Every structure is written in C-alpha cells, then in structure tokens.
Structure 1
Amino acid sequence: MSEATNLQEPESTVRALSINEVEEDEGNREIFLSVFVQQGQIGLSYYDSCDYTLHYMPDTMDNSDLHLLDRVIQELSPNFFITSAKQEQSLLEFIEKLGLEISKQRLLSAHIPSLPPTITESEKIPYLSSCIPLDSVLMMRSVGGLLKCLERRTVGLDMEDSSMGVPILQKDVVYIDKDTYSALQIFKSELHPSIFKLQLGEKEGLSLYDFLFLICFRQWFHRPTRDLNILKKRQEVIRFFTSPRNFADLNTLQSSLRNIKNISTLLHKMSLANPKVVVWQSLYKTVYNALCIRDTIRAMPQSIQLFSEISQNFTDDLFYIATYISKVVDFEGSVAENRFTVRPNVDPVIDEKKRRMMGLPDFLTDVARAELEKLDPRFSTCSIIYIPLIGFLLSVPRLPTMLDKQSFEIEGLDFMFLSKDQLHYRSARTKELDSMLGDLHCDTLGLFFLSSASVLQRSHCLYKVMSLCAELDCLIALAQASLDHGYCSPTLTSNHRLALIESRHPLLELCTPVFVSNTYISSETEGKVKVITGPNSSGKSIYLKQVGLIVFMALIGSDVPAKEAEIGLVDGIFSRIHSSLNHSTGDSLVLVDEFGKGTNTVDGLALLTASLNNWMRRGPQCPHLLMSTCFHSLIQLGLISNSPLLDLLTLETAIEGEELVFLYQVKNGICQSSCAANIATLAGISDDLVKRGVEV
C-alpha cells in the first residue's frame, strides 16, 4: 500500500465487537411503497427505513395485468402499501390533498441532509429537478402520499442524493414472474427447522439464491438484465479473477471485502448524539480496508471498467477519514471506559486535564479531609466525587434526623440532590475545583461532535465506496463459484439463438456424485420449439429447469455450468401458460412442464395442442419453447402441425431384465411407451397391483 501503510491496522477484536452491534438494525427494516395508476401508466416511490433513502420510478406504461407493479412488490416485499381509494367522499377529498403541487411542497419541505447548506428556498426546485423528474405527475403524487404517511408515522426521513436518482426497474430488466422464480428454484422458502425460530418466518431452502447467497445482491436476482454493456462489464471482472495468475489478488481482495460494513447504517449511527465505540471501530475498519482495496485495484489493468471506477472513486477523502480517526480516537481507552475517549497529543487542554485527573484520587482525599474539618461534628465521614457534566461535589451520609428537604440544608453548602442515602452538595472548594480542572467530559464531547462532523462532511465518497465494494464482492464470489464448479463464460449475443453444450443443472450436480450433461440448441433454423416426451422420473423436468437456470445465470453476468454456451439475450422467462401466451415474444424463453396433466385427457390434450400451434404460427416471433409432456398421442396422432420450428426430443432409457434404467441422456425422437408398470415398481407399488394394472 502507498498511503494506507501509515495507518494503524485495525485489531481483530474490532470485528468481534462490530458484528452484533452495527448490524443489529437489519431485522427492523421497513419499506413503505406508494403507488398511483392512471390510464395505463404507473408511478411509484418507496422509502427504505434501513438506509433512510427514498427511491422512485418515473411514470411508466404498464399492462392491464399490472405485471410491472407485481414485479416491484415481488422485489421489495413492502411492509406498507400506500395508494388512493375511490370509494367514499372522504377518501376523494383525501386524494385531492395528494395533488401534484402539494406533493412538490411536501418534498421541498422534507429534511434532505445532502442539500448544500447555503441553498435558498427558491433554489430548491431547480436542484431537486436535477435529481427527480418533477414532471412525472403520478410519481410525484406517490411521493407526496409517501411523505404524508411517513410524517404521520413520525419516521425519521433522511434522503440521500446518491440513491434518489436510481429507478426501481430499468427498461432492460428481464421479466420473470414469482411462479417462475419458484419453479426454477431461484428462490425457495421453507419453514425454519428450529422450533424456536418459527416465529421469525421462513428460511431460504435449496435454491440458486441460497447457493449463491454470499455472492450476489438479491437485487441482481430480481433484476436479470439483457443490457450487454452491464453484462460484459461483469464478465470481464469474472474472467480476470478466474485466471490463475490473479489468484493472489483475488485472495487479498476477499480478505479486505470481509471487513467492509454497511456504511449507510454506520453513518446514520454517527449522526446520532452519542454513537457506541463499536461504530467508530467499524467505520475505521471499513475505510482502512477500502484503502487496501483501492491500492490493490490500482495495480490491476485499468482497462477493466470496474477497476477504473474504483481507482477514481476511492478518493483521498478515504485516507483523510482513516487518518483522522486513527489520530483522534483512543480505541483501547474507549472500550475500557465504554465511551468516546481521545488519544494523547490531540488537544493540549484535554491532555492537561487528563494528567490532572490521573493524580486526582489522592488529591481529592486530601480535599475531603479538609472539608470534613469544616463540617458539622455529626458527620464522621465525607468524600469528594466527580460526575461528568455536573462537576465536583461534596458527598456526605444522610443523618437519621434529615427527614425532608428543609432538613438537608447545611450552612455554607448548596444542596444538589439525594442519592442512595448520600447527600450531595456544592461547596466553595468544589466550585474552585470546577474552575481549576474544568469538565473533561464536556471537552471530550465537544471534540467528538467536531470529529463526527468532519467525517460526515466527506460521507458522499463513502456511499460510492459501499456500492462499488458490493459489486466487486459479488463478482469476485461469482468468479470463485466458477472456479470451484468448473463453469464456462457464456458468449452473449443479441441474436435469437440459445446454445448450451454439455450443460449441467447447477443445483442437482451438488447433490449427486455423477451428473449426465446434456446439450440444448434453439434457433429459427435449429428448432425453437422443443417437445420432450419420456417416462415419469426420466429427467424431463430437470432438463427444463437446467436450461432455465443457465439462461438466468447468464442474465446476471455469471459463468454457467456448461462446456460452451451462447446466450441470445432473452426478454423474459415464462413458466405459466397464460403469461407466456399473452406476453412472450421471439426473444422469450418459455418452459412448460407437463401442461394439462391436472385435467382429463381430452381437455388437456386439446389445450396443449392449441397452445403449441398458436406459438408455431407466430413464425419469427415464436419464443424459445421447451415443453415436456406425457401426452404421447399428441405426436402419435399428428395433432400438431409440421413446422421447421418443431423439434421432438426424448430421454434415453434401457431395460435390464425386467428393470427400467434411466440414462438421463436427451436425444432426438419420440417416446413409444410410458413404461407405467416399471415406474410403478420403482415407486414401491406391490407386484400384485402392478400385474393387475398390466392386465387391465
């Protein structure tokens, strides 16, 4: 390190202290979502109590099913949902109060710490217009309603400029509904196994998110993107760290990233009247490790965009903050005294008072003896004590005759208070001590506020540090997963082709010693409609999920479990027939598993046939369709029309004696038999029942 080498490395005890203290508020997170919908458009905003920020989405077109709103609710899981209700006159009057101008006034009157301190009221509108599109009427109404709700709930509203410009959803976000997330096991909730934690809600089960939990933002999972610039930016970082020659740098950065704490939470605690010592420790440790990351990154190729951003945004303000804290805060003394204490040689006045305080006990004993000689002979003992913010006091035991306040009065002494049968007075000598020694605690507190203000003035750089460190942490861990599991870097294109060569299921291969890889290729010339037939338990559903998960992983920038992969960026992944028929395009991926099996054979077959023919008639706008079915008659009876888009697949099986063996290998062809008797035997059904079933 260049500059950071002059800083004192944080002790390991700092981390142990900070884990529980700094992140204790994470479980108290509340999200307030405010929504307005009108004439097919939606405007919304939300407030996050975890980092005290307001987020917004400008007016955006939504369909009649409000898929966009559904997606936002999925992603945010808001605690409070705020909207208008056109039912009663009283509610109509309330809605009128949420008009655009009132909403603007509420925003203008809100406390926004990031506003320049010298800004005037007339300058607020142009300033906020540069941050928020004030001409988005619906969005502004939603902000007004949100601020009104927060005002009534007396929520401390601190809005940071750095987050206000970030929309909730971007136009290149790939559409995936909640059912598809669940079907592909991208997210999977289950009851907590501990009976003592059942009241805390569900836990994440075996899912892609659980597998990559330490790797990705939850936001990345909710916002898979088809923006090639974003994906290639992520890929180049992963490619760098999967190179063996960069393993040392990988380990160095991982070690530093483990010590980066939630800066939003730290800065909020810093702004309070008297934050705990652990907050200062955690902030210093975070900034120190951010400097280590900066110095490591600056030795790497700056042609990689993320590395260049880190080098530029990790400014000398970080070095100033780290140096300032290390020179001012006495961590050992602060832990011992459980309050903010100052290092020697920072403030001569404080140092002198500390020096005097060190010899104070013996001195105060002498003063107490002198005071006792002046007291009423009824008092056999007394002491001189020091109380921060109050000063020096003479303390004497309460006599049996002292029953009320009037009897507490002693000539020459000013009564202060009674505590645990000890009377406390201010004497001429204690006043002299106050004048001579002063109040060390007040002086220290003043320096504390000065230090906090100095750090908070440079807080703007810390928010950028947190964002870039989080992104770097995600990509490093994705690179680590790629190395650990033998993933490949997919080729991302804007054409209509998906090609996964010798691909594997990213979750199932973790649970089985041997996994059979399979290839999937879909394009207008190689068949975009794949219909898979085969016996139950032959691997049809696994193959569908495997394709869906690999495409999803590519859309968050991850490497994928395959020998080779080419991903034509899709605009949505669908698993529900209704959604896929109405909203899929030629760039969508549709996964249909055993459609129609829940109804009678004729109806199920008819619906399946109609859906397939509908998709194939679209021609170039036919989505990438991967469908499994047990309706073998669909093909045998020729119910689906011939099309160059159609490709028939099955999974290989073999018979050894009377036993059915699954080979789990996908091949072209049609399944001729469902092998129901063999499947029943494998399921544990008695031989007599199986034999009778064959006879029938």
Structure 2
Amino acid sequence: MAQMLHRLLGHIKNVPTVYSALGLRDACRSLPQSIQLFQDISQEFSDDLHHIASLIGKVVDFEGSLAENRFTVLPNIDPEIDEKKRRLMGLPSFLTEVARKELENLDSRIPSCSVIYIPLIGFLLSIPRLPSMVEASDFEIEGLDFMFLSEEKLHYRSARTKELDALLGDLHCDIRDQETLLMYQLQCQVLARATVLTRVLDLASRLDVLLALASAARDYGYSRPCYSPRLLGVRIQNGRHPLMELCARTFVPNSAECGGDKGRVKVITGPNSSGKSIYLKQVGLITFMALVGSFVPAEEAEIGAVDAIFTRIHSCESISLGLSTFMIDLNQVAKAVNNATEQSLVLIDEFGKGTNTVDGLALLAAVLRHWLALGPTCPHIFVATNFLSLVQLQLLPQGPLVQYLTMETCEDGNDLVFFYQVCEGVANASHASHTAAQAGLPDKLIARGKEVSDLIRSGKSIKPVKELLKEKQMENCQILVDKFLKLDLEDPNLDLDIFMSQEVLPAATTIL
C-alpha cells in the first residue's frame, strides 16, 4: 500500500496528471479512517477536484503546448480556431500554387520565387538576389514593393500577397490571441476552486513527507523515539549520523545524554579528524528528527522538552553579507547566548578559531562561563574544541555542570589510530602532524612543524633551518659575485669607496 501511495504521489507534479490525486483519494478511502490524514484526504479530494481535472483535460492540448511552447487548445473547442488552424496547415501547398502564378509575371531573369507567411508581417514574395542587384536601387522591380533583404533573399509585397493579407489575415497571431482568451477563461474557472487545489497540495505534501520518513526508517534501521515531558534534555543510545553512516564503510555509533543538573556543559576535545564535529551534528540531527515526528538512527532515543536547537557549526560565507567568517560565527553564538533557555540544545564547534588564538580562547571561555553562571537553568551545551588550554589553564569553574569528553585514539608507532568513540577525559594533544601527513604534506614540512611547536611549548627561541640558511648564503654570495663581475674598473666615474660601502658590505653581512 505504501508503494502504491508513493507511485500516486509521484504523478502529482503538474496539471496533466492531476487525475492521480483522485486515485490517491480512492486509495486512502480503503485505508483505516481512524488515521486523520487518510480521513482528510478522503473528504477533501472532492468532486470539485474531478471537475477541475476534467475541465482542463477537455480543453488543453498538452502535446501541442509542449511542441509550440505555449498554451494551445484541443480541436472542437472553438470552431473559429479550428478553421484558422486548418487554413494555416494548408498554407504550404496553397502558397506554392500562388508562387507559380507570381513567377509567370516576373522578369525572365528571375529563376524562381516563393510566397512565405511571417507572423505579424503577413504574406511576402521572396526571390533570390541576382548578381546584377548590387545597389539598393537595383532591388526595385516594377509592380512590387520592396520590403527587406535577408540571407540573399529579396522580399516584396505584390498585389497577390496584399490580397492574401486582406483575405486570410494574420492567422498565426489571430489563433494565439483567441487561445490566450480561452486560457484566461479556463484560468478563471480553475481559480474559482483554488481552495480545493491548495488543500489537495497541502494534504498530498504531508502524506509525501510521512511516506518518505517511513521509507527511510525501514531502509536504514531507524528506531522510534520516546517523548518525555519530564526529561529536560535528550538521551540517545548508540546514535548514528544519518548521512555519514551511508557514506562511510563502517560507522561507530555513540551515545549522548544531557539532562538534570549534571553535565549540562559537555566539552569535547580530541585530535583533528577524530569525529568531534560528526558527533555534534548527529546529536542535533537525531533531536531534530525526533521533534518533527521521524524515527531516528539510534538504538534508543528519549527526547525531552527541547524548545530550540542553536548551532555554531558551519558558517555560510557570502560576499553579499559583507561579514567576515569570525563575525558570522559571533552572530551565531550571540543568538544562542541571547535566546537559549534551560530547555534549549546548543551545539558549538570550534568557536574562536577565526581570530587570534588568545582572543578566541578567551571568548569561548567567557561564553561558557556565562552559561555556567546560570546554574541549573543552563542550556544543554555540547562544545567541540581544539583549545586544550581551556582545560589545561582551568578556565572553566569546577563542578558537576561541566563534563569533559574526548574522542578515543591510540598511537601505534608513528601512526595515530582513530576509534571514533566518545569517552570521558581530555585530549593531551591535537596531533595536527598526523592529520597533516594524511593530507599529503611532505615529511620535511611536518617534521619542521613539530620542531617549531615543541620550541614554542618549551618557551625556547626558534632558530632558522640550517639547510635553508646555507642556501640563502649561497644565493647572496652569487649576487655579490655578479656585482663584482659587472664592475667596470676603467669607468672614470667609478668610486670604489662608495661601491664597497653601499654594495659589498651590506651583502657581506648577510653571508657572514
């Protein structure tokens, strides 16, 4: 039955297939009327809809409309339109005969001619341009009115073409005008029942959404969430990211729980590419899916009274906004700070990285401390960050409201193995060098980066690379040699003292 409903909904795309809506009504009438949506469809898809579909189907020529890229009507709707279309269809053979008669009256030098019909212009006599017709004055032919030259064809009005204009008129435009008038009349009759169409589209779209959610739940093994007004927060058992699990070969599920007075602020640290962002997104997506009435990608899920979901995960940059990436991030966080309640879910990923490290860390700590100061009325917050100093410098107050989580990893020699599993604790390093190696950076650059990082942590000065220093010295030596080779000792204006003080000595200081 679900597949049949899907098929019928798939046909409700445009006017020619509006009859599928009637089939959808008949299918829903055979289903349990205790379900409100089926009952509404059975009642709202009334005879008015059948009348609209029948009226449109009897008037509109859909194949002709597609072929001409405009509105056309079926035969036997308007006898006058049918007669003009018959004349228009018979024009080619008729005009051939007219052209034959015209050729008999033309100069013998003209080998051929044709009579053509151009909408809005009318009937014209077309003859090929002769080699002798060079100047505009050469185009004049006795008994003909020259109109224009196009593609080496001369176009004229003759007595016969003027007679055709008076007898037949502008057939193409007349037909289009009359069909446009019929379209307007049909439009008025359909709009008189517009309420029915609007209601049909609303109910059909609702059914389409529910069928899509049901299909996804069946195909991907989603479970039915529970709603608990007594629970302030969410509880997810072995949740999965609904999109990531379809793209990855294997996906590691993770649980999440927030509620009560403990762990309302969860600070998640871990190496780059360890799964922090995916974890935040899956918590938000599962909560959102449950709130809109969908099954969720988790073994179990209990959703409490969540009144809003605020995120600082992805910044959509646009030149039209006139805002920097960091300003966009600040706007997102400011919206959460100003509007989040104790029933809100707040997801923050890498806030503060768009500015100076110290300033970014200070802003992140200030925002979290603001929420922690609210005590039990603090929102439910998940924060993923690479600012390990947030924990190492103890920038957040100690207490049950804060819970530290990390992504489990294991170092295997020089390799870092990701388990993508959330556990309690704090990461001891970002392992940026491992991520850089995975991205394909040369080992030489990675080793230098680790060296500089270690020097900064230990407070030691950073010395230049010896190999690079030698290369620079050789380059400066070559420059100095070139200057001596270009020196013209026979130049009477040469001042060796100036040359040594301004050219040689500055270059020598970079070598020694």
TM-score between the two structures when normalised by the length of structure 2: 0.60
2:237 to 501, 508, 532: 501
**1:614 Cα deviation from its structure 2 partner:** 4.2
Structural mapping, 1:110-121, within 5 Å? none
Q: Is the Cα contact below 8 Å between 1:504 and 1:561 reproduced in 2?
A: yes
Which residue of structure 2 lines up, in the alignment, with residue 256 of structure 1? 11
**1:623 Cα deviation from its structure 2 partner:** 0.6
3-state secondary structure, aligned to 1:519 = strand
Tell me the distance in 2 between the aligned counterparts of 1:652 and 1:316: 63
Question: AA paired with 1:487?
Answer: Y
What's the CA shift string for 1:657-680, capped at 9, x where partnerless? 88764433334x434x7267x875
341 and 445 in structure 1: CA distance in 2 versus 1, 3 angstrom threshold: same
Are 2:375 and 1:640 equivalent residues in the alignment?
no
Are 2:407 and 1:674 equivalent residues in the alignment?
no
Tell me the distance in 2 between the aligned counterparts of 1:538 and 1:363: 79
383 and 309 in structure 1: CA distance in 2 versus 1, 3 angstrom threshold: same
Tell me the distance in 1 between the aligned counterparts of 2:293 and 2:5: 18
Tell me the distance in 2 between the aligned counterparts of 1:467 and 1:251: 16
Q: Is the Cα contact below 8 Å between 1:350 and 1:440 reproduced in 2?
A: no
Question: AA paired with 2:77?
Answer: V
The RMSD of aligned alpha carbons is 5.2
Are 2:375 and 1:619 equivalent residues in the alignment?
yes
Tell me the distance in 1 between the aligned counterparts of 2:97 and 2:408: 98
Q: Is the Cα contact below 8 Å between 1:548 and 1:573 reproduced in 2?
A: no
Which residue of structure 2 lines up, in the alignment, with residue 7 of structure 1? none
649 and 443 in structure 1: CA distance in 2 versus 1, 3 angstrom threshold: closer
Which residue of structure 1 lines up, in the alignment, with residue 310 of structure 2? 573
447 and 485 in structure 1: CA distance in 2 versus 1, 3 angstrom threshold: same
**1:476 Cα deviation from its structure 2 partner:** 3.8
3-state secondary structure, aligned to 1:520 = strand
Which residue of structure 1 lines up, in the alignment, with residue 225 of structure 2? 490
**1:448 Cα deviation from its structure 2 partner:** 0.8
633 and 291 in structure 1: CA distance in 2 versus 1, 3 angstrom threshold: closer
Are 2:71 and 1:343 equivalent residues in the alignment?
no
Q: Is the Cα contact below 8 Å between 2:16 and 2:57 reproduced in 1?
A: no
Which residue of structure 2 lines up, in the alignment, with residue 430 of structure 1? 163
Are 2:297 and 1:564 equivalent residues in the alignment?
no
3-state secondary structure, aligned to 1:285 = helix
3-state secondary structure, aligned to 1:563 = strand
**1:627 Cα deviation from its structure 2 partner:** 3.3
**1:481 Cα deviation from its structure 2 partner:** 3.3
Tell me the distance in 2 between the aligned counterparts of 1:318 and 1:285: 13
1:665 to 421, 429, 451: 421
Tell me the distance in 1 between the aligned counterparts of 2:225 and 2:361: 37
**1:551 Cα deviation from its structure 2 partner:** 2.4
Question: AA paired with 2:222?
Answer: Y
Q: Is the Cα contact below 8 Å between 2:124 and 2:161 reproduced in 1?
A: no
Tell me the distance in 2 between the aligned counterparts of 1:633 and 1:350: 80
Tell me the distance in 1 between the aligned counterparts of 2:308 and 2:129: 81
Tell me the distance in 1 between the aligned counterparts of 2:335 and 2:25: 46
Q: Is the Cα contact below 8 Å between 1:397 and 1:423 reproduced in 2?
A: no
**1:346 Cα deviation from its structure 2 partner:** 2.8
Q: Is the Cα contact below 8 Å between 1:502 and 1:562 reproduced in 2?
A: yes
Q: Is the Cα contact below 8 Å between 1:593 and 1:628 reproduced in 2?
A: yes
3-state secondary structure, aligned to 2:341 = coil
Tell me the distance in 1 between the aligned counterparts of 2:434 and 2:140: 97
Are 2:257 and 1:518 equivalent residues in the alignment?
no
Tell me the distance in 2 between the aligned counterparts of 1:665 and 1:395: 81
**1:491 Cα deviation from its structure 2 partner:** 3.3
3-state secondary structure, aligned to 1:586 = coil
Structural mapping, 1:19-58, within 5 Å? none
3-state secondary structure, aligned to 2:278 = helix
520-529 vs 646-655, which moves further: 646-655
Which residue of structure 2 lines up, in the alignment, with residue 552 of structure 1? 288
352 and 680 in structure 1: CA distance in 2 versus 1, 3 angstrom threshold: closer
Question: AA paired with 1:665?
Answer: Q
Question: AA paired with 1:445?
Answer: R
3-state secondary structure, aligned to 1:642 = coil
Structural mapping, 1:590-605, within 5 Å? 590-593=346-349, 604=361
Tell me the distance in 2 between the aligned counterparts of 1:393 and 1:335: 29
Tell me the distance in 1 between the aligned counterparts of 2:126 and 2:155: 6
**1:624 Cα deviation from its structure 2 partner:** 0.6
Tell me the distance in 2 between the aligned counterparts of 1:688 and 1:324: 75
2:342 to 586, 589, 602: 586
Tell me the distance in 2 between the aligned counterparts of 1:363 and 1:591: 76
**1:424 Cα deviation from its structure 2 partner:** 1.9
Tell me the distance in 2 between the aligned counterparts of 1:338 and 1:546: 47
515-524 vs 634-643, which moves further: 634-643
Are 2:297 and 1:542 equivalent residues in the alignment?
no
3-state secondary structure, aligned to 1:530 = strand
Tell me the distance in 2 between the aligned counterparts of 1:687 and 1:421: 79
Q: Is the Cα contact below 8 Å between 1:254 and 1:476 reproduced in 2?
A: no
**1:498 Cα deviation from its structure 2 partner:** 0.8
What's the CA shift string for 1:302-342, capped at 9, x where partnerless? 55555555555555555444434443344555666676654
Question: AA paired with 1:421?
Answer: L
What's the CA shift string for 1:319-374, capped at 9, x where partnerless? 4444344433445556666766543333334445555666666666667777888x
Which residue of structure 2 lines up, in the alignment, with residue 528 of structure 1? 264
**1:587 Cα deviation from its structure 2 partner:** 1.4
Q: Is the Cα contact below 8 Å between 1:532 and 1:627 reproduced in 2?
A: yes
Equivalent pairs, count: 415
Q: Is the Cα contact below 8 Å between 1:488 and 1:562 reproduced in 2?
A: yes
Question: AA paired with 1:642?
Answer: G
Structural mapping, 1:680-695, within 5 Å? 684=437
TM-score between the two structures when normalised by the length of structure 1: 0.47
Q: Is the Cα contact below 8 Å between 1:393 and 1:427 reproduced in 2?
A: no
Which residue of structure 2 lines up, in the alignment, with residue 452 of structure 1? 183
What's the CA shift string for 1:532-591, capped at 9, x where partnerless? 455665544432332123223444554332122222323241436555444321011223
Tell me the distance in 2 between the aligned counterparts of 1:537 and 1:366: 80
**1:429 Cα deviation from its structure 2 partner:** 9.9
Q: Is the Cα contact below 8 Å between 2:6 and 2:208 reproduced in 1?
A: no
582-591 vs 456-465, which moves further: 456-465
Q: Is the Cα contact below 8 Å between 2:264 and 2:379 reproduced in 1?
A: yes
Structure 2, unmatched stretches of 5+, are 313-329, 438-445, 459-512
636 and 653 in structure 1: CA distance in 2 versus 1, 3 angstrom threshold: farther
Question: AA paired with 1:255?
Answer: G
Tell me the distance in 2 between the aligned counterparts of 1:633 and 1:332: 68
560-569 vs 288-297, which moves further: 288-297
Structural mapping, 1:47-446, within 5 Å? 246-253=1-8, 255-257=10-12, 260=13, 284-285=15-16, 287-301=18-32, 303-307=34-38, 310-311=41-42, 314=45, 316=47, 318-332=49-63, 342-352=73-83, 410=143, 420-426=153-159, 430=163, 440-441=171-172, 444-446=175-177
Tell me the distance in 2 between the aligned counterparts of 1:688 and 1:388: 74
362 and 616 in structure 1: CA distance in 2 versus 1, 3 angstrom threshold: closer
Q: Is the Cα contact below 8 Å between 1:574 and 1:584 reproduced in 2?
A: no
Please tell me whether Structure 1 or Structure 2 has the larger radius of gyration of its CA atoms. 2
